[in-house]
Amino acid sequence: MMKIFQWGFAAAMLALSTTAIANTTIEGVVVSVFDGDTIEVLDGRATHKVRFAEIDCPEVGKRGRHGQPWGKRATNEAKMKLRLAGERVTVTVVDTDRYGRSIGTVFAGGLNLNEHLVAEGHCWAYSRYAGDRMIALERRARQDRLGLWSLPASERIPPWDWRRQ
């Protein structure tokens, strides 16, 4: 009977800790932009690697490999918007990924950067995780041929397919 209680208690603590992670907010200064959808934020005490929720930007070249078309442009757009906001962000954390990164919605100067990047055609709504709003923003960018949607179809490879190559 005691073992059952211990297992139940452990399961409850795990559920609470996951909820606590998902309901946190990070406020701080961006100290690094890895690519269009991944940044590092210093909150005064620690740094947090943050992956933007619901989106997937084209890959930039890493470790001697060339990147995807539009990868550098997506990264530069994120950097520009962050600079305009004085590098200060608020991140609403929704989860943690398998690499220990916080996954969240990034606000810079009141701008929802996740939505902005999709709406302006700099990345895909990550359909596996994206909500209806993000899907609609991508659809509109596609229709208007904004950003990467102005490229020939052969150059528009979703990042999740690109990474598998």
Catalytic hit among 54, 101, 115, 138:
101
Is 156 among the catalytic positions? no
Catalytic hit among 59, 77, 115, 138:
59
Is 59 among the catalytic positions? yes
Catalytic hit among 51, 54, 115, 138:
51
User: DSSP readout, 18-86?
Assistant: HHHHHT-EEEEEEEEEEETTEEEEE-SS-EEEEEETTEEPPPPP-TT----TTHHHHHHHHHHHHHHTT
Q: How far apart are alpha carbons 156 and 149 in whole angstroms?
A: 7
Is 163 among the catalytic positions? no
Q: How far apart are alpha carbons 70 and 117 in whole angstroms?
A: 12
Q: Do 84 and 109 meet the contact criterion of CB atoms below 8 Å apart?
A: yes
Q: Which residues are known to be catalytic?
A: 51, 59, 101
